[in-house]
Chains A and B, each alone.
Chain A
Amino acid sequence: MDFELIAEAWPDLLKGAGLTLQLLFLPLAVATVLSIPLAIARSSHRFWVRIGPAAYTFVFRGTPLLVQIFLIYYGIGQFESLREGFLWENILSNAYWCAMIAFTLNNLAYITELMRGGIQTVPHGEVEAARAYGMSGFQTYRLVILPRMWRTILPAYSNEVVFSLKATSLASVVTVLDLTGQAKVYYSQYYEPYDFFIAAGFLYLIMVFVITRVLKGIEWLLGADRRPVKHRGETPAAADVADPATGPAGPA
């Protein structure tokens, strides 16, 4: 390891890490929002509603992300009609945005399946209870099913975020200078295979560590009613009456 070389590359590696974070969070945010309606459709009882999202997730989860990136970056150019105009000049011929699109579509497939699992584990009795209270379908989803789903899927969701972070490195294959891309550029300048790749790996490790910690914190906040009840100087009987938002505390 030559620390002078790493010091020289360090500013560029950090710049690459910034790009990596952009490639992680923008597609993740878009995919998370879009996957809510898709997951609801995916868990429908009607075959014709279910089949569309099911086919989508089957294809996007069953093929390598690299193929998806290449299809968007190189493949679209095959169609003459798409090779002009605003969309082509600003987005489809730009590797950065092509990677963004591919990551969004890919994340969308994985998160949809995750949410489907979360929705299907909500006990049917709760949905019936919500209906008995006169809630509309939309209200049932917004107030009962989706909040429960979030709590169920959060550990798996944070795994998904880590996988997604690692997957952003594929953008370097289509010339985007993310963290892996920068490390590769420095490697080809100096032919030192260890310094730059290990330094980049170390930065990925830090990012994974911070992201998993933050998500663990959110998990802890959302799991308030699953923690043992603290008696803050009250009589135990009073503490058993939990606040109406989370329902009766029950045995911890």
Chain B
Amino acid sequence: MDPFWSYGLMIAGGAGWTLALILAVIPVGIVLGLLGAAAKLSSWRVLRLGAETYTTFIRAMPELLVIFLVFFGGARAFNWLLAAVGFPEIQIDFNPFLAGVIALGVVQGAFATEVFRAALLAVPAGQIEAAQACGFSRWQTFRFVTLPQVWRLALPGLGNLLQILIKDTALISVVGLADIMRNAQIASGATKQPFTFLLLAAAVYLLFTTVATAVMMLLERRANHAWRRA
């Protein structure tokens, strides 16, 4: 087979890893973001302070530095933790994929915290009072009144985060995940045609971000159904 096609196929295979990474990070980011937002709006000072420290530090640190910290230091910290709680015989190692999910999840979580916090604050207080007046418990108020609206209010912000996430996944290639970027580099080195294959990689990323934009537009249209004008 022509080397262009075989290396092209290799880059397409790398797209599978990139996609897997994106899909694995999204739930981590959303859960961390919701927890962070809840902590920031909590009446406990310790939680507020903790969440504030988390978002301030992580949002100021370059993603690459977070990835290095998790990839080179994450396993050691985790093994210490395991030994501390009484499992010194278990030793785990972080592979690039796991390190990527943790590092990017933590970064996304910090940004998502701000998105969710703003969305939670945007739900009118009168509605929450009304729910309580109707006898809803705090959990019911959250589940049936606040959460459905948070989703709608947070969607545009989450869409921006998804764009950032897709582009950040390329950084995991630096610690060795065989994603689009890594395979494009290998193809570049083997064929001495770096421009061709890096351009191909760029095109695949562009496809990813374009599809993500379209999906977010659809989700926003669905979420705003009730707000659409006649």
Contacts and interface: CB of A to CB of B under 8 A. Distances in A.
Contacts of A75: 188, 194-195, 198-199
Interface in A145-179: 162, 165-170, 172-173
B181 interface: yes
Interface in B143-164: 163
Contacts of A3: none
A170 B202 contact: no
A78 B195 contact: yes
A248 interface: no
Contacts of A59: 202, 206
Interface string A69-85: 01100111111000000
Interface residues of B, number: 40
- Best-surrounded residue of A168, A187, A201 (most CB of chain B within 10 A): A201
B62 A169 contact: yes
Contacts of B73: 193-194, 197
B136 to A, nearest CB: 37
Interface stretch (A32-40, A60-68, A120-128): A60-68
Nearest to A208: B60
Contacts of B169: 64
Interface string B188-221: 1000111110110110011001100000000000
A99 interface: no
Mostly helix, strand, loop or mixed at chain A's interface?
A: helix
B167 A63 contact: yes
B100 to A, nearest CB: 14
Nearest to B76: A193
Given A62-B206, A63-B205, A166 B167 contact: no
12 contacts: A62-B210, A64-B205, A66-B181, A71-B194, A169-B63, A194-B69, A194-B73, A197-B65, A197-B72, A200-B65, A201-B60, A209-B60
Going nearest first, the 7 A-B pairs with the smallest beta carbon separation are: A193-B73, A169-B62, A64-B170, A75-B195, A193-B72, A78-B195, A166-B62
Interface of A: 58-59, 61-68, 70-71, 74-79, 162, 165-170, 172-173, 180, 183-184, 187, 193-194, 197-198, 200-201, 204-205, 208-209
Interface of B: 56-57, 59-65, 68-69, 72-73, 76, 163, 166-171, 173-174, 181, 184-185, 188, 192-196, 198-199, 201-202, 205-206, 209-210
Given A59-B206, A67-B170, A193-B69, 4 more contacts: A63-B205, A63-B209, A64-B171, A197-B72
